[in-house]
Chain A
């Protein structure tokens, strides 16, 4: 809580917005004592700004400066009052609906949604026309017309919180509803309450000024809205008296802008994804021209002294540290390591897919002798997918939900050469068949497929251009055991047939040992050991590798994967499901 307050103060938008708001609050509070009586006729009408009247005079001869300053008072008072009331009503209705659920929710949600679609201004105008005049009328009308939006937001939030463990726990222990709402729900909605209050005040100021401009306020009071009402009535435009309506408009806009800044600062602090990062620029070791070495014989990919830094607010942080390894054509190379060890970052770098905050600061990635890190623009796009493709961990969510599979295959093929839609679809059907899916799925959308099917589509897509290397970044982590096994088996069969190499990235060392020809162990961004699977299993040298292996006792103890159905597998599959893959024939050579 204190931390978030402190970061709010440090935030630039919050600082600018907050100071502007403070200025206007002070103006509204003490300003009226320093200016003339805003209603008194102090000069000739329609006088431009002068030393006597800094902002000129109105159509009746009142001081515009005085009207602007005094007008701030009631406008802001009503604005904040309505802002608070609307937040309160909205939160009350929304939390009740979201927390109690069922019938209560049905009724309250329906009411909320109905009020949400009824346009606010006409409702406010009609209500206002019937109610007796006064500031209370304004508060009532604006609250009735504006509560629904909040109720909806608070309902969604309390529904989300209601499903969380700590609330369920409180319900199970039999705490009273009132206690759960006040102790568990509301404290977790503090930032939402804050940003809603700001947003509602913004609405209230705008709507209030609009209604008063129409003459639906108390036209004898001095507020920003009535100032504009009189400006319109006294023909400010016709007499070219811009000074009558400009100061008030600027006041309204500045208050509105300040409120917007504060609320967007709150949003950004609670949702950091929206922030624009401006990390310290990273030095590029040396800018290398794209150069092509003669590839060493039998080497497809050569990663040499690769260093990758992430820019953080505290300076550069090295996530990949002088990593070197080679990969032969048709080889299966495994990269193992815990999350944060840099393994996925290496995978991204191979395709030039590093996020903007990350940079290769040293070393080279040679693919067939060509330095991938120096590729840019069209050259990089031509390289991607045709030479190296990738199966994502989240292929399930990586497909575009609004395009059919056929369209996504077509986009891929068309990006790498002119191809007709008919030809693309034919190729897509062939590829889908290859991974064991019905070719008719070309017309399906991703959401119509199960997770395992979508991952197969991911593989089919990766093979579309027959690349020489396929990176598989935790491709099976989200799948259940049976699906996982089938998928990897299929992948290895296709590899035999098409002859591509695989860079397999996972935290699952036993799986890697079963699949790969060679395995590299990553720890804290450093490649601590590279060896054949056989060599690692029998004689791991680095203490970290030994530690990793010892967490899977069965594998070190005996050679699980040579027998097709080892007795240990069933036991293992309970403890660690993915080791079942060890039973894949041909998975280990």
Chain B
């Protein structure tokens, strides 16, 4: 078991190193020297001496590539992602810090609700195969799932924000609110999160439901379920403890793989709602050609996804005694 965790950890370290390196390589491979373009924007704002220092801080020097690479790694290890151009002179880490919190909260809550609800619906659909849930709701949700997340977000914002006025139109909390650990602030944050979270849930629910339904159908055909029925176990117990519990395993694995995908979608949703998470920051960074912020965000989002994947691995380990033994 320890060995398994160790191996997974090793894999995520390699993946993290690969994304760090990608992050280093992409700007340097790009045609047209975006590095100079980036520093051109600092011109006039900072003293020439400061400019040299800045370039050094970002690792763009005349030094050979490998030494630039090591400088870059050294800075990263010190937790230094450089300075944001758009939010100059704020450091990239400061800008990302708050954004990451909002993204993790919004996408995290939405993804967990969607996975839990979708899996449960999938269990019911497979259990009552051919029933209204299976033949009615699944295709309807599959159809909803075919809309881009951000388009559903636009529609939700249009209907419930602009036309009906039930929910706030943008941001994570009202401008008149004082952020703090008060009930009023929490309620306001929740009110702002309803539409973005709901549009993510609606867009992804069908996928989870279908995935769970299909593994559940396969599980229901196994002898372990026939034996459970033969023993006279109550149907609910057979459905949940014998079928769903086993069908859940492959779905948790695919949940891990989908985390990055769902996060990608939720980044777009943030943009529709001007929700101050990493997605919104990322697109602002792209529009302002704020390369240090953009790359810092890419790195932080990637590391967050890697961490989520590792967490899912641990959950699988906990759920399945077989991997626990072989690991």
Contacts and interface: CB of A to CB of B under 8 A. Distances in A.
B119 to A, nearest CB: 16
Nearest to A377: B235
Contact of B260 (A118, A210, A246, A249): A118
A393 B222 CA distance: 12
Contacts of A276: 129-130, 134-135
A237 B221 CA distance: 49
Interface string B221-236: 1111011111111100
The interface residues of chain B, by DSSP majority, are classed as helix
A228 interface: yes
Given A215-B287, A249-B151, A257-B146, A390 B230 contact: yes
Contacts of B306: 117
Contacts of B71: none
Contact of A401 (B129, B228, B246, B268): B246
Most buried by B among A130, A132, A149, A389: A130
A384 B233 CA distance: 9
Contacts of A120: 260-261, 264
Contact of A118 (B18, B154, B268, B291): B18
Interface in A378-418: 380-386, 389-390, 392-395, 397-403, 411-412, 415-416
A252 interface: yes
Nearest to B134: A276
Contacts of B44: none
A419 interface: no
Contacts of B34: 130
B162 interface: yes
A116 interface: yes
A228 to B, nearest CB: 7
Contacts of B32: 132
A226 to B, nearest CB: 13
Given A118-B302, A119-B263, A238 B148 contact: no
Given A213-B150, A351-B230, A411-B231, A123 B298 contact: yes
Contact of B222 (A384, A389, A397, A412): A397
A245 interface: yes
A126 interface: yes
A198 B296 CA distance: 34
A274 B12 CA distance: 35
A122 B301 contact: yes
Interface stretch (B173-181, B187-195, B318-326): B318-326
Interface string B157-171: 110011100000000
Contacts of B30: 130-131
B230 A129 contact: no
A381 B148 contact: no
Interface string A325-361: 0000000000000000000000000010100000000
Interface bracket on A: 35 or more
A290 interface: no
Contacts of A274: 214, 217
Interface residues of B, number: 88
A89 interface: no
Contacts of A401: 224, 246, 320-322
A411 B227 CA distance: 12
B33 to A, nearest CB: 10
A531 B261 CA distance: 66
Contacts of A216: 286
Nearest to A211: B268
B265 A445 contact: no
Contacts of A416: 232
Interface string B243-262: 00110010000000100110
B223 A214 contact: no
A235 to B, nearest CB: 11
A122 B226 contact: no
Nearest to B23: A126
A132 to B, nearest CB: 6
Contacts of B221: 273
25 contacts: A117-B15, A118-B260, A118-B302, A119-B261, A121-B267, A122-B302, A123-B22, A125-B298, A126-B26, A130-B29, A132-B31, A206-B148, A214-B283, A215-B286, A232-B272, A254-B146, A276-B135, A353-B226, A381-B232, A383-B232, A384-B229, A384-B230, A399-B224, A400-B245, A401-B320
Given A119-B305, A392-B223, 20 more contacts: A117-B305, A118-B22, A123-B22, A125-B294, A127-B26, A232-B272, A249-B155, A273-B217, A353-B230, A384-B230, A385-B230, A398-B226, A399-B227, A401-B320, A401-B321, A402-B249, A402-B320, A411-B228, A445-B321, A447-B321
Interface of A: 110, 113-114, 116-123, 125-132, 149, 206, 209-210, 213-216, 228, 231-232, 237-238, 240, 242, 245-246, 249, 252-257, 260, 273-274, 276-278, 351, 353, 380-386, 389-390, 392-395, 397-403, 411-412, 415-416, 445, 447-448, 461
